[in-house]
Structure 1
């Protein structure tokens, strides 16, 4: 029986279960002109993948706020379902952190890489490992999986549904109220804020983000702005 029968998505969203990479599938569907709201997903014994197709009405520079927005939606979803001692944080570049260790990541692709152009489509997707990739997880203490962090009771299909609901709620808030609330919630979840980091070949102090979530990186006397567009996967 397909898990599609058991999944319930909020209005305006619908699911397509795939056996290949969910992000790649969503990008191909978007490239062929599918409507916004498609949630491609793949659920196996060892991984959960979800990818959402957007049809932005603003330039790419602003539209890529959907990357941190989808991350906040994920934290909201898992935060309700996981035990209270489990912490979820977000790397600026899309990485997911559970109890401080890397646990999957978000990716993004759009029809254009021009920050000033309104893209025909935008896809944000995530991959979440459910079990350790190796039999020796102690060899990679900075990498983890959902079930290894005390979340064995979390049901991946329910987590995917909750991610879709919370993400859609945030999209509605972002459209109606602007980005202030999203900035506030994302900053509370941001990994390494105020710490020394390396991004795009630059090293310095992660000061925060600009209004479009571009990274502000202080290197000595210089503050660099690294836009979210640098994180885009190349479109086919």
Structure 2
């Protein structure tokens, strides 16, 4: 692979397809048409990089949703390998990506079915990551872009390649070792643990996650579980 090549070289069992406008929407469209699992759609733009991965789960949706934090861990590992060592990447429970403490992109997730107990025909997880800031410096200090954080040498194609490799490694570990290794890695990267959170319009203290990465939210003396499936976008 060379950084000038705009066709990512993907690991075994994955195959790529460029998207015209939106990588996530393109992947969902292809999934509804019955494409094979392992399709990676991507947009390698001058100001933003996007990628999405199509899964064909063999477990109920509640369990398969682990692919959302797993893909997040894959992206953090990819940036850890490509970005300067002083760049800190963290993950929000709702799919947010944070670079050096500021919002820098977002993961999305959709499945063919929203019933947690059903094995879906397909599941798509994708991210969009800004490379260049849309606003002048200092206008939106809570939002940033990758190249504004000292990562100008990270090419979009290299990032997609690295993300797929690291994600595939975590998929293999998840299949052989269960959720424990993903849990341990994700918890070390999670943003906002022990702090106030407002997921899905509910407020409380973010205590952690359960086995299926559902959020444990404490309000007063009550602790509620917000399942990860609440983050699903409605299928077409």
Corresponding residue number in structure 1 for 2:201: 201
3-state SS, counterpart of residue 16 of structure 1: strand
Corresponding residue number in structure 1 for 2:103: 102
Structure 2 gap segments, 5+ residues each: none
Distance 1:107 1:133 in 2: 21
Corresponding residue number in structure 1 for 2:61: 60
Residue 3, structure 1, aligned to residue 6, structure 2: yes
TM-score normalized with structure 2 length? 0.97
TM-score normalized with structure 1 length? 0.97
Corresponding residue number in structure 1 for 2:78: 77
Superposition pairs of residues 1-236 of structure 1, within 5 angstroms: 3-4=6-7, 7-134=8-135, 136-236=136-236
Distance 2:5 2:165 in 1: 21
Runs of 4+ in 1 over 4 A off after TM superposition: none
**Matched pairs, number:** 233
3-state SS, counterpart of residue 194 of structure 2: coil
Distance 1:33 1:201 in 2: 34
Distance 1:74 1:172 in 2: 16
Give 1:83 shift.
Answer: 0.6
3-state SS, counterpart of residue 138 of structure 1: coil
Given that 2:5 and 2:157 are in contact with CA atoms closer than 8 Å, whether structure 1 keeps it comes out as no
Structure 1 gap segments, 5+ residues each: none
RMSD: 1.0
